[in-house]
Chains A and B, each alone.
Chain A
């Protein structure tokens, strides 16, 4: 999986969590919370979805890496680089 693949996965998870938000306008380097209406339950959803889709466990102390889209991509890409995108 490339960085762009990972980015698209995060965006699709966010689109499920916040269907009323304009996901396409998200800036990669600004905190997600400042751009769309996300609360701590929504971040939990991201973690649960990553576990469900990819069997990846994000420990609570690492949640801070998920604060921005760029942060998500750089944190998750090394973990997903050997995975194939599900068809």
Chain B
């Protein structure tokens, strides 16, 4: 933590056009865009690192652990090029060996439409016409669609009773955005289609390199970046944003773009009293998404790991089942293997195991129990990994686990949610500016605006709204009408 003597706000201006709260990918992308559009932007981050969940940590022995660099859709290349810069976008590389291993099947795939079509035909015996129609249906979904159909309905329609096919189609998306069979089908269709476009991609250089490059770009565009700066309050008068309080200091601004959790933004930072009671009723219905546990394994210097896959969806559960995936009694794990190609020149390997998890399973344990459960999680993960990397215990020299409590501590998200809110959060997020002039939110809401690509693109969409708002404050804006 910061020393109390240091003034992290030294030299700050008395007023800004926009104050962005939080430097997740949505917050950083919107800050960058707004600065490029000519606005005066302050980016406030409570942590010492930027990136939100797009983050990493270092440990003795030269280990660097990536938290969420598991893989993103091809669209990220375009997003990085357009809203960041060419050099950043050129570092995106494809992960070609996506692997499934569970009691129902063991499959390697490039995770794109051509390969999936082939596998669904040859391996699962699905008719070509059905596969094609499924892809067309998933691709055609957009977020104006009705929400009645769930992903379960969608699968039941195309692949009735084929729980093996459901697992093949669903498991990766559950890990990508926390969605379940009971979420609206479109939250599945959009994300699945994004990946199926061309496969799974990652960033060469690692998360640390990406965030460092993004920071440079933000500074080049004139964003005032302040780490160790906690936004404590958003000031509102007459339904209009007036400013914020950061580390006890008041700063005036015309607009706030919060990349803090949606519910935190409304209930804690702003205060329910500033919103219509009807709106707050809807806010109360917004469900948080689940959280995660991770186990980070650093491989000794000089040791190697065979190429067993880039992403490995492993499970010992009989069938895909949301409850089992969330259960503390872990049966499903996604292993992200980080080979030396990720950080060329370092010749180092690390492996990160991710499991979806519930906050309440971890929040109320006694300290000794919490420590023991974390230790057990580390050990059972090593046991599970032994199947794919024999002798893993000899190769590894750093093992560490994180839980929903860890996620909460670093992101400040309620219940440590690692995928924001469920789908109903999107409408609330979009409607914030109708409640309070100059108040905007961008961050993981509703599953489709989640993940690296979703978060960055949602940052762009909301930056556009913020820019429109700021320009309307000056009378020169001409609104076209045909």
Contacts and interface: CB of A to CB of B under 8 A. Distances in A.
Contacts of A52: 37-38, 467
A79 B480 contact: yes
B482 A55 contact: no
A75 B457 contact: no
Interface stretch (B394-402, B437-445, B471-479): B471-479
Nearest to A75: B482
A62 B482 contact: yes
A26 interface: no
B90 interface: no
Contacts of A45: 82
Given A17-B82, A41-B79, A41-B460, A48 B480 contact: no
Interface string A66-87: 0000000001100100000000
A7 interface: no
A59 B481 contact: yes
A55 B477 contact: yes
Contacts of A41: 78-79, 82, 457, 460-461
Which size class do B's interface residues fall under?
20 to 34
A14 to B, nearest CB: 12
A58 to B, nearest CB: 5
Interface residues of A, number: 20
| Interface of chain A, main secondary structure | helix
Nearest to B479: A57
Contacts of B479: 56-57, 59
B464 interface: yes
Contacts of A57: 468, 471-472, 477-480
A55 B475 CA distance: 10
Interface of B: 37-38, 75, 78-79, 82, 457, 460-461, 464, 467-468, 471-472, 476-482
Please give me the 4 A-B residue pairs with the lowest Cβ-Cβ distance, nearest first.
A57-B479, A55-B477, A56-B478, A55-B476
Given A52-B37, A57-B468, A62-B480, 18 more contacts: A39-B75, A41-B78, A41-B457, A44-B461, A44-B464, A45-B82, A47-B464, A48-B37, A48-B467, A51-B467, A52-B38, A56-B477, A56-B478, A57-B477, A57-B480, A62-B482, A75-B480, A76-B480
29 contacts: A17-B82, A39-B75, A41-B82, A41-B460, A44-B460, A44-B461, A47-B464, A52-B37, A52-B38, A54-B478, A55-B471, A55-B476, A55-B477, A56-B479, A57-B468, A57-B471, A57-B477, A57-B478, A57-B480, A59-B479, A59-B480, A59-B481, A62-B480, A62-B481, A62-B482, A75-B480, A76-B480, A79-B478, A79-B480
